[in-house]
Amino acid sequence: MRLYEHEGKALLERAGIRVPKGTLVSGSAADAGPSLGAATFPVAVKSQVLTGGRMKAGGIAFAEDADQLSAELTRLLGSEISGHRVETLLVEPKTQFDREFYLGITYDSAAKSAVAVFSQAGGIDVEQAGAAVKAEIPLLLPASGFRFKELLASAGLQGRLLSGMTGVFTKLAGLFRDNDCILAEINPLVLTPEGKLVALDVHVELDDDALYRHGDLVKRFGLEGRDADARERSPLERKAEEIDSADHRGVAGRMVEFPGNLGLLIGGGGASLTAFDAVQRHGGKPANYCEIGGNPSVWKVKELTKLLLSRKDVERIAVIMNVVSNTRVDLVARGVVKGILELGLDPAEKIAIFRIPGAWEEDGFSLLRKYGVPYADRTVSIDQAAKMAVAGAGGER
């Protein structure tokens, strides 16, 4: 879940990291006057969109006086930046600085550790601007600045700058840990002529699965209903989320819609991605990505099945999972069959393949045989099942 710049800066400020004092503007340029008051020029005008590269795309401007500010507000409000509509602007004093830096903390899934990254070349195109140093860091309480000081010293920092930067890095680590972030980066962090370190821009991403622990942020920033990838969700995707939220048992409803004809109920960790890719590799056209697992209820699977088949272009569905021990095969089979029957349709004609081996599989297979549904046990690979699903859905479209 990516946050807007002004939301990320609110977290930085709460963590004790200095940021410019900005004002949010929405609506129209005419409406902005009272909210801006007596602005101190020059100012930066920054489009609040969930995408990078705003400067290059023309989404960040500077104004030297009120007339120029009004012109930039008019130009930016309602415009599009990299496919994202600009509905809110952040207006803040333009900060003068002598040097700029990059520092960030992300999670390395391969190392199973948080990783701190620092570069003395911050700003635009930081990736190509110069070598960065990085190090794995522990995020256990209490937070310690020692590891950050080592990292920064290895990059050549010393004296007061080393001490100040260590403090900022330590606070950023606390923000990362306390808010269950997967990424928290400041670019640029600038050094002003007065010797202050100020965060001019920030990129914060929260772990979607941990949002239930941060009701304050969900309420404060209006995160409920915001899509993780900043894309406007389709009605079908929103309905799938409602189905998933209505019953706490299992996972079934994290839906991403695609323009295909084969509906997918897939799961089993990485097996869902394997199945999705295999369907495409065999010439199939997935209508969606939707991972299931954790022993969802019959009701949840039934409603999801009905939702998928409510799309007129979805002709069949494929149910493919890895060998499961935490999900009952018979419950998934009952849910899929029940959903199709409630639509007045024939399960044998609507299920291209059912491949879930594991717990209670014989009971599930018995039900599928009763309705003439093609199914596969563990002797059939996920790739083979995907190929059968594509053939059952009429092949490549």
Q: Is residue 372 part of a domain?
A: yes
Looking at the structure, tell me whether residues 243 and 382 fall in a common domain.
yes
Report percent pLDDT > 90 for the chain. Answer: 70
Check: pTM over 0.85? Answer yes or no: no
Domain of residue 336, CATH code = 3.40.50.261
Looking at the structure, tell me whether residues 282 and 205 fall in a common domain.
no
| Sign, Cα dihedral of 312, 318, 324, 330 | positive
Q: What is the mean predicted confidence (pLDDT) over 8-28?
A: 94
Domain of residue 164, CATH code = 3.30.470.20
* Final residue of a structural domain among 93, 126, 146: 93
Half-sphere exposure in the Cβ direction for 113 (13 Å, CA): 9
| Average per-residue pLDDT for the chain | 90
* Least confident interval from 112-121, 248-257, 282-291: 248-257
Q: Is residue 16 part of a domain?
A: no
Q: What is the mean predicted confidence (pLDDT) over 134-153?
A: 80
Which of 78-82, 256-260, 348-352 has the largest mean confidence? 348-352
DSSP H helical ranges for the chain: 5-14, 29-36, 66-76, 126-129, 146-154, 159-178, 215-221, 235-246, 271-281, 298-309, 329-342, 347-350, 361-370, 382-392
266, β-bridge pairs = 291, 320
Q: Say if residues 134 and 115 touch (Cβ distance below 8 Å).
A: yes
Tell me how many domains the chain contains: 3
Looking at the structure, tell me whether residues 32 and 178 fall in a common domain.
no
Q: Is residue 359 part of a domain?
A: yes
384, 267, 251, 387: which is closest to 323 by C-alpha? 267
Looking at the structure, tell me whether residues 270 and 378 fall in a common domain.
yes
* Euclidean distance between CA atoms 308 and 335, whole angstroms: 13
Report percent pLDDT > 70 for the chain. Answer: 91
| Domain membership of residue 128 as a residue range | 99-221
Whether 397 has a pLDDT exceeding 50, the answer reads no
Q: Is residue 5 part of a domain?
A: no
- Report pLDDT for 396: 47
* Final residue of a structural domain among 165, 189, 221: 221
229 vs 40, residue with greater confidence = 40
Looking at the structure, tell me whether residues 169 and 285 fall in a common domain.
no
Looking at the structure, tell me whether residues 376 and 265 fall in a common domain.
yes
Looking at the structure, tell me whether residues 146 and 262 fall in a common domain.
no
Q: With cut-offs at 50, 70 and 90, classify the pLDDT of residue 83.
A: confident
Question: Strand, coil or helix: what is 359?
Answer: coil
Domain of residue 44, CATH code = 3.30.1490.20
Looking at the structure, tell me whether residues 248 and 166 fall in a common domain.
no
Q: Is residue 349 part of a domain?
A: yes
Do β-strands 351-355 and 316-321 pair in parallel, antiparallel, or remain unpaired?
parallel
* Least confident interval from 18-27, 165-174, 222-231, 326-335: 222-231
Looking at the structure, tell me whether residues 382 and 242 fall in a common domain.
yes
Q: Can the peptide bond before residue 42 be classed as cis, meaning omega within 30 degrees of 0?
A: yes
Q: Is residue 207 part of a domain?
A: yes
Whether 54 has a pLDDT exceeding 80, the answer reads yes
| DSSP string covering 66-135 | HHHHHHHHHHHTT-EETTEE--EEEEEEPPP-SEEEEEEEEEETTTTEEEEEEES--STTHHHHS--EEE
Looking at the structure, tell me whether residues 261 and 373 fall in a common domain.
yes
Looking at the structure, tell me whether residues 61 and 110 fall in a common domain.
no
In residues, how long is the chain? 397
Looking at the structure, tell me whether residues 103 and 82 fall in a common domain.
no
Q: Which tens digits make up the pLDDT trace of 162-221?
A: 999 999 999 999 999 999 999 999 999 999 999 999 999 999 999 988 998 999 999 999
Q: Is residue 71 part of a domain?
A: yes
* Final residue of a structural domain among 39, 68, 93: 93
